[in-house]
Structure 1
Amino acid sequence: MAKNQRTKTNEKTNVKRSGTGKIRFFDYSLLAVLICLVCFGLVMLYSTSAYSAMVTYGDSMHYFKRQIVFCVAGFAGMFIVARIDYHYYIKWAKGIYYISIFLMLLVKTPLGKEVNGAKRWIRLPFDQQLQPSEIAKIAVILFIPVLICTMGKEITTLQGMARVVMWGGFSAACVLFLTDNLSTAIIVMGITCIMIFVVHPKTKLFVILAVAGATAAIVGARLLGMAMETSGNFRLRRILVWLDPEKYASDGGYQIMQALYAIGSGGFFGKGLGNSAQKMIIPEVQNDMILSIICEELGVFGAIIVLVLFGMLLYRLLFIAQNAPDLYGSLVVSGIFGHIALQVILNVMVVINLIPTTGITLPFISYGGTSVLFLMAEMGIALGVSRKIKIAE
């Protein structure tokens, strides 16, 4: 009877005995939230892209079928990565960092592929493409913790922080100048700063810098908006559109205006799944503007559900980071946490026009094969760290 009771207890807690007086942990909660996000994303992707896929390809399931293939491949890869001891990454992290730089250099060669006016991809066989900036994110997540761990207490000094920022900044600069992707460069730099923040004993300095930086960016954007109305630079034009989308509705502001109409027309409970009207006119709506269609079809309630799911995902990542067996594992998961959090926050802010359009997609929900594969790889790394957590009986 007692033996049966112990077996039931172990099944409920989803842990295994390690034979050393401790219990091995695996974060099934993270896996469950991830499955919910991916399944929700597939449903919304089909609802959002069916019309445009039919018009463009003659197949309403074109985007859905491609995405589901990448999701299945991503889950398979995630389980493989989860079984790898994350300490092996310490040896290969620097090499992965340099490989990411090399792949971004290839974008400037004839292998580079231009899509919708942006040259950010590498041509692959069988009509596939790879976005090297996605590899840069993982490279920074794996390599920056190695630097921090080898530096020890030096990271608390100005010189130590500058050294780490230099490596992260170089990767971000390559993303910006080699792939012309400002939004991803911001994320790469943000991941670096978050990991420094995690290990630094003083938080006041970072809070002051963050507030000062945000204030300077807002003031600078408004000053540029007033001074550069005749500029032809597309990034400056995005700032102008952000400041006054109605004025530039026919010249760059069309997408954001239609997205705002979609959000406003959805109300609290939405029009119903599949009943969006704006998805027929918003360009590339299955990418960075998919949240606006979620709001139109499912209302604010649907958007809240999405944000709650992301909150649960981030909470599980935070739990793993706090309980990781060593500093390297903790920093790697903190980097993954920072990546997901930054991407979600920036995407939501773009959709509701709090910041200029960036092209950042909503993780696990927006269409994109490369993005899904590398996000799943990051989840595999986090689950691999969770497998090393041991809980005392």
Structure 2
Amino acid sequence: MTTFTRLDRSVVGRWWWTVDRWTLLAVLLLIIMGGIMVLAASPAVASRIGVDSFHFVKRQFFYLPLAFAIIFSISLMSPIWVRRTAVIVFGVSLILTLATLLIGPEVKGAKRWLWFGSFTLQPTEFLKPTFAVVSAWMFAQQRKNDEIPGNLIAGILFLIVVGLLLLQPDVGMTLVVSAVWFAQFFLAGLGIMWVVLFLGVGIVGAASAYIFFPHVSSRVDRFLKPEGGENYQIERAMEAFQTGGFFGVGPGDGSVKRVLPDAHTDFIFAVVGEEFGVLFCLLLLGLFAFIVLRGFGRLLEEKNFFVVLAAAGLLTQFGLQAIINIGVNLRLMPTKGMTLPFISYGGSSMLALAVLMGMLLALSRRRAGAGDI
């Protein structure tokens, strides 16, 4: 058995002693638990739509080793290489996102995907984490040198990203990207007047989305008046939590997955609640909270401003995505098609989250004498 000592100067040896091993362990636990959850939830969905019972399981387990490889390889990088990788992936994702509008198939009134043989790619999943890193770089450059219009460049990129998302349309992801970008801008030293202005713009934007996007107004109306609208998935999800109780009905013995169309994706948390119970749901919540809070805790000791902004953006995005998915399942907010990180089925989501977590682990590694880049 190979062990690493503190005197080991190999790439992997240095990685082992500088990476946040507790966060790495929590992420690995989430990925393993996600594989189990997909194994429990997806066969019923697959049978209902007429494909092989283990269709989704096979595809998800194909992506798992790729996700592990991405996390490990990116976490080996220095902050400079994280930035360079983010710029490249961000540029490619922008082009592919534009391609979805031109040649992508329309599914449920939205154009968000590209088909590559049997693989379906959602470019915006990769756009989210890489945009957070690129924005952090621009904000940090502005603070480092006032002659570099970093804030302006970050603002222009933000408008481009938001414009593409709204054209798809994907209002939910637009709100997440906007929240992350605003949080980074605030940490970068945004003045109080600008904070008030951006909050006002956000309120106007949310109201405009309600007015101009019928699917948004429909979801909000059903949330505010559940008794007067069609809330089939939400109602079944709430019944699943009630049936599961504290300890669940047992793995594989749940019934909600047989009737929920998105039991393996957006509503997998309801399947978890029914089959494994509230205590297991709290364990999942604890893992998400641990990753986010530990990440922010390590940033308190960080001196590199770019690293602080980039890691804060990635942590905010990761936490928001989990909060939104769980909140929808618990009828705490309007429905939104957003996966539960590392738990829900989805190749694009799994690989994009692997990119996010790899970059977060790379940025949070202990580096002697790290300063501004």
Please name the residue that 1:315 is paired with: 293
1:61 pairs with 2:54:
yes
Please name the residue that 1:4 is paired with: none
Q: CA 1:215/1:151 → structure 2, altered by over 3 Å: closer, same or farther?
A: closer
Q: Is the 8 A contact 2:140 2:150 kept in 1?
A: no
SS at match of 1:64: helix
Q: Is the 8 A contact 1:165 1:193 kept in 2?
A: no
SS at match of 1:364: coil
1:78 to 68, 71, 78: 71
1:289 to 267, 280, 285: 267
- CA offset digits 1:12-66 (Å, max 9, x no partner): xxx6677xxx995221111110111111111111111121223334533221221
Q: CA 1:358/1:367 → structure 2, altered by over 3 Å: closer, same or farther?
A: same
Q: CA 1:257/1:138 → structure 2, altered by over 3 Å: closer, same or farther?
A: same
1:166 is displaced (CA, Å) by 4.0
- CA offset digits 1:288-335 (Å, max 9, x no partner): 111111111222212111100111111332244334451122222111
| Superposition pairs of residues 314-393 of structure 1, within 5 angstroms | 314-324=292-302, 326-390=304-368
1:182 pairs with 2:171:
yes
Q: CA 1:287/1:204 → structure 2, altered by over 3 Å: closer, same or farther?
A: farther
When the two chains are superposed, the root-mean-square deviation of aligned CA atoms in Å is 3.4
1:173 to 160, 163, 170: 163
Paired positions, count: 361
Unaligned residue ranges in structure 1 (runs of 5+)? 1-7
Deviates more, 1:316-325 or 1:190-199: 316-325
| Superposition pairs of residues 1-393 of structure 1, within 5 angstroms | 25-91=18-84, 93-110=86-103, 112-124=104-116, 126-152=117-143, 164-177=154-167, 179-200=168-189, 233-249=214-230, 253-324=231-302, 326-390=304-368
Q: Is the 8 A contact 1:320 1:382 kept in 2?
A: no
For 1:128, the aligned partner's letter is F
Q: Is the 8 A contact 2:142 2:151 kept in 1?
A: no
1:79 is displaced (CA, Å) by 1.2
Q: CA 1:277/1:202 → structure 2, altered by over 3 Å: closer, same or farther?
A: same
- CA offset digits 1:65-122 (Å, max 9, x no partner): 2111111111012211122222034456555444322211101223x13345532101
Q: Is the 8 A contact 1:24 1:391 kept in 2?
A: no
- CA offset digits 1:200-258 (Å, max 9, x no partner): 2878985x78988898899x69xx7xxx9xx9922221122112233223xxx211121
Q: CA 1:326/1:87 → structure 2, altered by over 3 Å: closer, same or farther?
A: same
For 2:187, the aligned partner's letter is V
Normalised to the residue count of structure 1, the TM-score between the two structures is 0.81
SS at match of 2:31: helix
Q: Is the 8 A contact 2:251 2:275 kept in 1?
A: yes
Q: Is the 8 A contact 1:17 1:24 kept in 2?
A: no
Q: Is the 8 A contact 1:324 1:385 kept in 2?
A: no
Q: CA 1:232/1:321 → structure 2, altered by over 3 Å: closer, same or farther?
A: closer
Unaligned residue ranges in structure 2 (runs of 5+)? none
Quote the sequence identity (%). Answer: 27
| Bigger-Rg structure (1/2) | 1
Give me the whole-angstrom Cα distance separating, in 2, the residues matched to 1:213 and 1:271.
Answer: 47
Q: Which has the higher strand share?
A: 1
Q: CA 1:267/1:162 → structure 2, altered by over 3 Å: closer, same or farther?
A: farther
Q: Is the 8 A contact 2:249 2:274 kept in 1?
A: yes
Give me the whole-angstrom Cα distance separating, in 2, the residues matched to 1:210 and 1:169.
Answer: 13
SS at match of 1:355: coil
Q: CA 1:351/1:336 → structure 2, altered by over 3 Å: closer, same or farther?
A: same
Give me the whole-angstrom Cα distance separating, in 2, the residues matched to 1:216 and 1:171.
Answer: 18
For 1:142, the aligned partner's letter is V
For 1:239, the aligned partner's letter is V
Q: Is the 8 A contact 1:48 1:286 kept in 2?
A: yes
Q: Is the 8 A contact 2:41 2:257 kept in 1?
A: yes
